[in-house]
A and B are shown apart, each in its own frame.
Chain A
Amino acid sequence: MIDGLRKFGQFREAPSLVALGGIVVVSSLLSPYFFTGTNIKNVLTQVSIIALLAEGEAFVILTGGIDLSLGSVLALVSVLVAGCMKSMNMPVYPAVLVGLCVGTLCGLTSGLLVTRVRIPSFIATLAMMAIARGLALIYSKGVPISMFPPEFRIIAKYVGPVSVLTLIMIAMLVVGQLILSWTRTGQYIRATGGHEEATRYLGVNVDRVKLFAFSFSGFCAAVGGVMLTARMDSAYPNVGQGYELDAIGSAVLGGISFTGGLGSVGGAFMGALVITILGNLLNLLRVSGFYQYVFKGLILAVAALSLSRGVKYAK
C-alpha cells in the first residue's frame, strides 16, 4: 500500500489530484449548495476559460518559456470578434475566424520575438501583454461592445446538462494532450524544455518548436476570448486582467515544471479546477473575493514546494 502511494506520488499530477479531492471534500462540508446540479454546472462553465488559458500556458512553459500575454490577447480577440459582428456586420463564423487568427498571430509574434530577436520570453510576452491590451482599448475606444446575434450566443448555450463552452474546453484539452503525447512536435516541446542545447545538437529545429508553442498558446487565448464574449454577451477591453496569473498558477499546480519539460494538459486542467472551485467555494460562503488571492498564493507555494522535491536531473 505504501509502495502504491509512493508510485502515485511520482506523478507530477499527484498534488493537484490530492488538492482537487481535498477542496471538493472541504467545499461539500462547508456549503450545502456545493454539490447541487446548478453549482456544478456553474463550476464547469467557469473553469472552461481558465482551463483553455492554462493549456496554452502549459505548452509554453513546457518548452522552458513563459507567456504573460494571455489575458490581454483574450481581451483583444474578444473586442475584435465583437466589433466585427457589430460594426462591420460580419457573419458569426468569419468574425470568429478573424479572432482566432489574430490571437494565433499574437502568439506567433511573441514566439518570433523570442526566437529571432532573441528576447527572453518573460520580456517578450510582457511586451505583448501591453501591446495587445493597448490595441484592444484603441479598437474598442475603451467602451464595451454587447448584444450579439443569436448564432453567436449558441456558444454559451446548454446542451442538456453541459454547456457548449464545456464541450469546447474538453475538445481543446483532448487535442492538446494528444499533440503532447503522440506527435513528434509534442516530443520536441518536452525535449526543448528538458535540455534545449542537447535537442538543438541532435538536429531538432528548436526555434520552430517554440514558434508552435507560442502560436498554440495565442490560439488558446483566442478561443478563450470567443468563449468569454459569448458567455457574457459582451466584450470589455479590460477583461482578462490577471488571467495569466490564474493560467500560470493552474499549470504549476497541475504539475507543469517551471524549468520545463515536465507535466501534462490533464494536470493543468486539474489545477484550473482547483482554482475555480476555490473561488466558487468562497462565493458560496459569501467570503470576500480578496481572500482568494491569499489562498491562491498559498496553494501555489505549497504545490511548487511539493513538486520540486525528489526531482533528479542528469545535467
Chain B
Amino acid sequence: MAETRLVEMKGISKSFGAVKALQSVDLELRHHEVLGLVGDNAAGKSTLMKILSGVYAPDGGEIFMEGKKVKFASPADSRRLGIEMIFQDLAIVPNLNIAGNIFLGREPVKSFLGIKILDKRKMIEESRVAVGRLDVDIRSTRLAAAGLSGGQQQAVAVGRAIYFNPPVVIMDEPTAALSVKGIKRVLELVHELKERGIAVILISHRLPNIFAVTDRIVILRTGKRVAEKMTKDTTAEEIIDLMVGMH
C-alpha cells in the first residue's frame, strides 16, 4: 500500500546559464520524518531546497504535496502551503523589530476606517509567545533585531518558521556559524520539531549532525541524486564516498 508522501519532487532540473545545477532529481519527504540532504559544495542541495521553498522556479520537473500537484510562483505560495525555511544566514531583517521579523510577509492586520493597518499589539504579543517557547532570553519583541546575539537571532528565525505550525521545515546549514552550544541547541530543536509532528529536511555537510538526528539520507553529487540510505543502516565513510564519488 503506497502511503501519500508529504512532499514529492519528481525530475527536478535547473540550470543557471550554462551551469546545470540540478539534473532530473527526485526527492520525497514522508510525514514526520527527518530527512538529511547531503552533498559536497555545489552538489545542488541549496538549489533544490530553494526550488521547494519557491525562491526559484524549476526548469523541468514537478512538485507534489499530499499527492496534489503544486506550482510556486513565489515563496509566498510555498509558505502558504506550509513549507517553511530557516536560511543559512537566518534572513533576519536588522532594522525591523523581533515582532516584525517573525511576521514578515504575513502580518496580522485590522481594519481602521476601511483601511487595513498592522495589528501591532497582536504582533508584539504573539511573537513574545512564539519566542517564549524557545527558551531564549528576549525581554521584548519591540527590540530591533539588529541588537540581538547570534542565539537570539536564531530563535527569531526558528520562531518565524514554526509559528504557523507548518508541516514542513527546511533547515539550510543551520549550524554553519554556531558555537558548540549553539549546535547542540539546533539538534535539540530538530528533535522538538519531530515531536510536534513537523517533517524536517536538514541540509548539512556536517555528518555528525546528520547522524545525530535524521531518519533517512539522500545524497546529491554534481546536480544528480546518487543514493538514498536509511541513517541507521549506513556509516559516515559510506556517505562520504557517495558524496565524493569513489564508490
**Are B100 and A191 touching (Cβ within 8 A)?**
yes
CB distance from B93 to the nearest CB of A (A): 4
**Are A202 and B75 touching (Cβ within 8 A)?**
yes
**Are B107 and A314 touching (Cβ within 8 A)?**
no
Task: Count A-B contacts at CB 8 Å.
Answer: 88
- Pull 24 A–B residue pairs with CB atoms less than 8 Å apart, ordered by A: A184-B116, A184-B118, A191-B96, A191-B100, A195-B92, A198-B92, A199-B105, A201-B55, A201-B87, A202-B91, A202-B105, A203-B54, A203-B76, A203-B78, A203-B79, A204-B105, A261-B94, A261-B95, A311-B146, A312-B94, A312-B147, A314-B92, A314-B148, A315-B89
Chain B residues whose CB sits within 8 angstroms of the CB of A204 once the complex forms: 76, 104-105
Chain A residues whose CB sits within 8 angstroms of the CB of B145 once the complex forms: 314
In the complex, chain A residues 174-205 whose Cβ is within 8 Å of any chain B Cβ: 182-184, 187, 190-191, 193-195, 197-205
Chain B residues whose CB sits within 8 angstroms of the CB of A262 once the complex forms: 95
CB distance from B69 to the nearest CB of A (A): 20
A230 to B47 CA separation, bound complex (whole angstroms)? 56
Interface centre among B54, B91, B104 (most CB of A within 10 A): B104
**Are A182 and B93 touching (Cβ within 8 A)?**
no
**Are B85 and A195 touching (Cβ within 8 A)?**
no
Interface size class of B (residues with CB under 8 A): 20 to 34
**Are B104 and A191 touching (Cβ within 8 A)?**
yes
Q: B42 contacts the other chain (Cβ, under 8 Å)?
A: no
CB distance from B18 to the nearest CB of A (A): 20
Chain A residues whose CB sits within 8 angstroms of the CB of B79 once the complex forms: 202-203
Q: B74 contacts the other chain (Cβ, under 8 Å)?
A: yes
Chain B residues whose CB sits within 8 angstroms of the CB of A183 once the complex forms: 115-118
| Residues on A facing B (Cβ under 8 Å) | 182-184, 187, 190-191, 193-195, 197-205, 261-262, 311-315
Q: Mark B74-86, 1 if CB is under 8 A from A, else 0.
A: 1111110000010
Q: B176 contacts the other chain (Cβ, under 8 Å)?
A: no
**Are B146 and A312 touching (Cβ within 8 A)?**
yes
Q: B153 contacts the other chain (Cβ, under 8 Å)?
A: yes
Chain A residues whose CB sits within 8 angstroms of the CB of B89 once the complex forms: 198, 315
A201 to B90 CA separation, bound complex (whole angstroms)? 11
CB distance from B138 to the nearest CB of A (A): 14
Q: Mark B35-55, 1 if CB is under 8 A from A, else 0.
A: 000000000000000000111
**Are A202 and B104 touching (Cβ within 8 A)?**
yes
A18 to B95 CA separation, bound complex (whole angstroms)? 23
- Given the interface contacts A187-B107, A194-B93, A195-B94, does A201 sit within 8 Å of B118 by beta carbon? no
Q: Top 8 A-B pairs ranked by shortest CB distance?
A: A203-B76, A198-B91, A194-B95, A261-B95, A203-B75, A202-B105, A195-B93, A182-B117
**Are A201 and B75 touching (Cβ within 8 A)?**
yes
**Are B153 and A200 touching (Cβ within 8 A)?**
no
Q: B230 contacts the other chain (Cβ, under 8 Å)?
A: no
A205 to B118 CA separation, bound complex (whole angstroms)? 18
Interface centre among A193, A199, A202, A205 (most CB of B within 10 A): A202
* Residue ID in chain B nearest A184 by CB atoms: B107
Q: B109 contacts the other chain (Cβ, under 8 Å)?
A: yes
Cβ 8 A contact of B118, one of A182, A194, A195, A203 = A182
* Residue ID in chain B nearest A314 by CB atoms: B94
Chain A residues whose CB sits within 8 angstroms of the CB of B90 once the complex forms: 314
CB distance from B92 to the nearest CB of A (A): 5
Chain A residues whose CB sits within 8 angstroms of the CB of B105 once the complex forms: 199, 202-204
A193 to B76 CA separation, bound complex (whole angstroms)? 19
- Given the interface contacts A187-B107, A200-B75, A204-B105, does A194 sit within 8 Å of B117 by beta carbon? no
CB distance from B72 to the nearest CB of A (A): 10
* Residue ID in chain B nearest A257 by CB atoms: B95
* Residue ID in chain A nearest B123 by CB atoms: A187
Chain B residues whose CB sits within 8 angstroms of the CB of A315 once the complex forms: 89, 94
* Residue ID in chain A nearest B100 by CB atoms: A187
A315 to B87 CA separation, bound complex (whole angstroms)? 13
Give 12 A-B pairs besides A195-B91, A203-B54 with Cβ atoms closer than 8 angstroms: A182-B118, A182-B120, A183-B116, A184-B109, A187-B96, A191-B95, A191-B96, A199-B105, A201-B87, A202-B91, A311-B146, A313-B146
Chain B residues whose CB sits within 8 angstroms of the CB of A314 once the complex forms: 90, 92, 94, 145-146, 148, 153
Interface centre among B75, B145, B146 (most CB of A within 10 A): B146
Chain B residues whose CB sits within 8 angstroms of the CB of A197 once the complex forms: 91
**Are A191 and B107 touching (Cβ within 8 A)?**
no
* Residue ID in chain A nearest B84 by CB atoms: A202
CB distance from A281 to the nearest CB of B (A): 34
CB distance from A6 to the nearest CB of B (A): 14
A85 to B105 CA separation, bound complex (whole angstroms)? 45
A187 to B54 CA separation, bound complex (whole angstroms)? 22
A313 to B96 CA separation, bound complex (whole angstroms)? 11
Chain B residues whose CB sits within 8 angstroms of the CB of A203 once the complex forms: 54, 74-79, 105
**Are A194 and B76 touching (Cβ within 8 A)?**
no
**Are B118 and A187 touching (Cβ within 8 A)?**
yes
Chain A residues whose CB sits within 8 angstroms of the CB of B85 once the complex forms: 201
CB distance from B217 to the nearest CB of A (A): 25
**Are B95 and A193 touching (Cβ within 8 A)?**
yes
